[in-house]
Amino acid sequence: MYALRKHWLCTRETNYKLFINKIGKVNFYRLNHKEKSYLRNNKLFLINFITSKNLKIMKEKSIELLNKAVADELSAVHQYMYFHFHCDDQGFDLLANLFKRRAIEEMIHVEKLAERILFLKGEIDMTLSQPVKPVHDVREMLKMAAGMEQGSANDYNNWANECAQNADAVSKKLFEELVGDEENHQQQFEDEMENLDKYGDNYLALQSIERSKNNSGPAGA
């Protein structure tokens, strides 16, 4: 990244320059012909104009977005464990395990986000973004879970772009990695919804029967 003049920054890749105003709002402008030529000829000097104030503002934005993600991930952990308990209680082992595994993966997401927040010298806010919803119907559980994953993937896509605009490539990369995971989760929940649509309640009954068979195995097994 190279500096044009105080508070003006530009990147070789994008041909854009950005200006951070006093309240921290970032504006982007295209480089003019002369500036492009300077950049091509390496005549711009290495940046030393990112003021400590601007750097702090850029970091704070990333920390805010990372904490929003922590709140969403924590809500997903709690919601999925709630679904796990109820599926387990009804004998639907396959779905109970699916929700438990997803909850553990969301917890790993929290860990990655928290590590990044601490690296940026921020504080981790462990507040949930929403309370656990008492949903007991399996189809409703899967629908809600798929919707949560889709919402997270959309948010993380947007937040990756915001981090890029704030010159925070590492947070951007982290959000992009999470988008991939959330899209996979969404697909898994949608696959289970399809199974339910295809096989109806027999799909759930089979899971209960399977558990009964396992529980009635030979004594001491």
Question: 217 vs 91, 212, 213, CA distance in Å?
Answer: 16, 9, 7
Q: Which of residues 121-150 bind Fe ion (CB under 5 A)?
A: 149
Residue 161's identity, in one-letter code, is: N
Which lies closer to Fe ion via its Cβ, residue 84 or residue 109? 109
* In the complex, least distance from residue 154 CB atom to Fe ion, rounded to whole angstroms: 12
Does 109 contact Fe ion by CB under 5 A?
A: yes
- Gap between the Cα atoms of 90 and 211, Å rounded: 10
Q: ∠ CA(16), CA(65), CA(152), 5° rounding?
A: 105
| Residue 16 near residue 29 (C-beta atoms within 8 A) | yes
Q: Which of 106, 155, 168, 192 binds Fe ion (CB under 5 A)?
A: 106
> Rounded to the nearest 5°, which phi and psi values hold at 46?
-55, 145
- Gap between the Cα atoms of 65 and 71, Å rounded: 10
Q: Which of 138, 185, 189, 192 binds Fe ion (CB under 5 A)?
A: 185
Which lies closer to Fe ion via its Cβ, residue 7 or residue 143? 143
Which lies closer to Fe ion via its Cβ, residue 2 or residue 189? 189
* In the complex, least distance from residue 76 CB atom to Fe ion, rounded to whole angstroms: 6
Which lies closer to Fe ion via its Cβ, residue 73 or residue 155? 73
Tokens of 195: 């199974």
Which lies closer to Fe ion via its Cβ, residue 182 or residue 192? 182
Question: Which residue ranges make up the site for Fe ion (CB under 5 A)?
Answer: 73, 106, 109, 149, 182, 185
